[in-house]
Amino acid sequence: MTENVTNHPRRELAIYNAALTAFGDRPEIAALREEIFERMARYYDLCEEAGLIWQLSNPVTTPDGTTWIKSRRLVAVVEATGQLGLFLEPGGPAIA
């Protein structure tokens, strides 16, 4: 009878998501995530103070009328290889 039973096509994804949720719910993980976010917010503030980020309230308009911002996002990347990166995502047309 079990020969007619198949696993759901997204079974592995469901198992992974359950493990990820359980991991993220651990108090020490939540505390570490909060610390990371606080430090990234401070880094972003320092970039803004240095004039590297323009808020949408202070955009630059080019001669053709396009509104741009310098950088709009601070991105942290951790690759599976262990490489780390922290960079400002380039600006682009401002989205209202």
9-27 pLDDT, tens digit each: 889 999 999 998 998 889 9
Exposed, middle or buried: residue 2 (CB in 10 Å: 0-12, 13-18, 19+)?
Answer: exposed
Task: Identify each DSSP E strand in the chain by its residue range.
Answer: 60-61, 67-68, 71-78, 84-90
Element (H, E) at 83: none
50-66 pLDDT, tens digit each: 877 765 556 677 788 77
Across 41-50, 68-77, 86-95, least confident range: 86-95
**8 A C-beta contact, residue 71 and residue 47:** yes
**8 A C-beta contact, residue 57 and residue 96:** no
